[in-house]
Structure 1
Amino acid sequence: MSTSVAAVAAGFGRDLDADLAQVETLTAQARARGVSVLALPEACLGGYLSALGRGRDGTHDEEPDSLPPVLDLAGPELRRVAAAAREMTVVVGFCEADGPLRYNSAAVVSGEGVLGVHRKVHQPLGEDLHYAAGEDLRAFDTPAGRVGALICYDKAFPESARALALDGAGIIACISAWPASRTATAGSIAEDRWTHRFNIFDQARALENQVVWLASNQVGTFGSLRFVSHAKVVGPGGDVLASTGADAGMAVATLDVDEVLGTARRSMFHLGDRRPELYDYDRVAAHA
């Protein structure tokens, strides 16, 4: 059965009402195109940090001018996303409250409510000064099948996507607020070296795990950050099926997920051909 999946490149800031209105608009646009799984950007409810970078003294070399609002899983914001999602599965980024801790989180939401939450595990460039790190990597059952979620820098670590694939995820949504390089910057986002890395990671993670990969991203500027956009859908062979390029927009692809996974894994089954008994990092380090 064919399924349409989509990833969004759009800009979001601190104004929660404006963010939620944009989420509702994007969800309606996706529904009109028959989308079943929609990946929205990292921190799209309340915006991302306005600056990144850790100085030699362990603090930011540039402090954010404000922090994202902290939201509750059972709060009105995610209920509003669920109401907009209805029959769709939507992956949405927000700053999650858990007692005194803040997490950079992705909620997997349908009309039934929050189906699962991923808390960003890997934290770049001083992000840990503002968020606690997640401790779990697992997939979630959704109306569209088993879906995994990652956030931005998580994609740079092959183990993250592999853990979700081994947990049965046929679709992985990696939502991002991935900025352009702060040094040796390119005039064109398309030519930026961090754009290049963003795209390589997306194709590699899809190919090595033979999954359907949705990569959303912020677009435009926020504080001192300039985001690279390039939301995309990647097939299990590492082929880019749809992309927004350097612009805002929605990348949509229609495919039979079970069929494309089966085709990709029929001759070369990367998950089944693993030899995990050899991947003991402690053992390898001991013999180094």
Structure 2
Amino acid sequence: MSTLRMAAVAAEFGRDLEADFILVEQLIKQARADGVRLLALPEACLGGYLLSLDSKATGADDDPGPPPLALDGPEIRRLADLAGELTVIAGYCEAGEDGHRYNSAVCVTGDGVLGNHRKVHQPLGEDASYASGADFRAFDTPAGRIGMLICYDKAFPEAARALALDGAEIGVCISAWPGARTNAAADLAQDRWKRRFDLFDRARALENQVVWVSANQAGSFGSLRFVGSAKVVDPGGDILADTGVAPGVATAEIDVAQALATARRAMGHLRDRRPEAYPHTAGAGNA
């Protein structure tokens, strides 16, 4: 039996990149001390997210947005150096070689970049700040074969399915998922957008029978109030660890290979697909 200790973070990050790195370093040190080998940090943890998803919001027009960082630049190298032997996933604003900015997730170890994902699905007004990514691909890491999603990506079953079909054993979704914009609940734990956040995490794990690691921003930034709720979900859709709406770290230990084998032994959702029955399904459904 070979178990993997993994952790998902719910924390507050902002525009001050140096302050963000200080918090990232603290979280990595804590993870290392706790024996964690896979650590997921939130979307936009390097430089913060957007002040609002409405471009007409007060102050939004004056905000330069998160600092664009090159995938091969010093900031990502710094993240890799901090990661060392850990596999760390973090969100940042990527300065694309094509001149566009992307909302991206990078996976690093001390050896460098192992994977990079550009957010494909953009909610509300996010496309005013970022270009869209184009695909979903899994990749190998010391922690296992991983597929990455960012926030709204997980609302689309095809995205996680594409990763599972590409051999992902662990899905890592990093988010800056806020509470509801209208009729917001006074108690964030009762917010309907928080409920959707949790449902998507459990459904994506269960339907693909993979381990699911979900990190999220916590606290507030601009007009957004984030729901936290970082968690680790097993291939049966059961939550193994959860921070709730407060900042924190959800940590769980699981034998990934055994968990996948057990979940898929009787009813293998990937094995039992009948893609010829749904030929009009875009993307992974035709694979």
TM-score, normalization: structure 2? 0.95
The aligned runs of 1:1-288 (5 Å cut-off) are 1-53=2-54, 60-62=55-57, 63=60, 65-66=62-63, 67-98=65-96, 99-281=98-280
1:280 Cα offset (Å): 1.9
Q: CA contact under 8 A between 1:50 and 1:65: conserved in structure 2?
A: no
Deviations 1:82-125 (A, max 9, x none): 11111111110000011320000000111111111000000001
Letter in 2 for 1:174: C
Q: Determine the C-alpha separation between the residues in 2 that align with 1:126 and 1:281.
A: 28
Which runs of 5 or more residues in structure 1 are unaligned? 54-59, 284-288
Q: Which runs of 4+ in 1 moved over 6 A?
A: none
Q: Secondary structure at the match of 1:228?
A: coil
Q: Determine the C-alpha separation between the residues in 1 that align with 2:129 and 2:161.
A: 27
Range with greater deviation from structure 2 (135-144 or 274-283):
274-283
Letter in 2 for 1:42: E
Question: Aligned pairs, how many?
Answer: 277
1:61 Cα offset (Å): 3.2
Q: CA contact under 8 A between 1:40 and 1:91: conserved in structure 2?
A: yes
Aligned-residue Cα RMSD (Å) equals 1.1
Q: CA contact under 8 A between 1:4 and 1:37: conserved in structure 2?
A: yes
Query: What percent of counterpart residues are identical?
Result: 64
1:130 Cα offset (Å): 0.8
Q: Determine the C-alpha separation between the residues in 2 that align with 1:127 and 1:233.
A: 27
1:64 Cα offset (Å): 5.0
Q: Secondary structure at the match of 1:281?
A: coil
Q: Secondary structure at the match of 2:250?
A: strand
Letter in 2 for 1:117: N
Which runs of 5 or more residues in structure 2 are unaligned? 283-287
Q: Determine the C-alpha separation between the residues in 1 that align with 2:48 and 2:220.
A: 11
Deviations 1:251-270 (A, max 9, x none): 00001000101100101100
Q: Secondary structure at the match of 1:5?
A: strand
Q: CA contact under 8 A between 1:172 and 1:211: conserved in structure 2?
A: yes
Range with greater deviation from structure 2 (273-282 or 113-122):
273-282
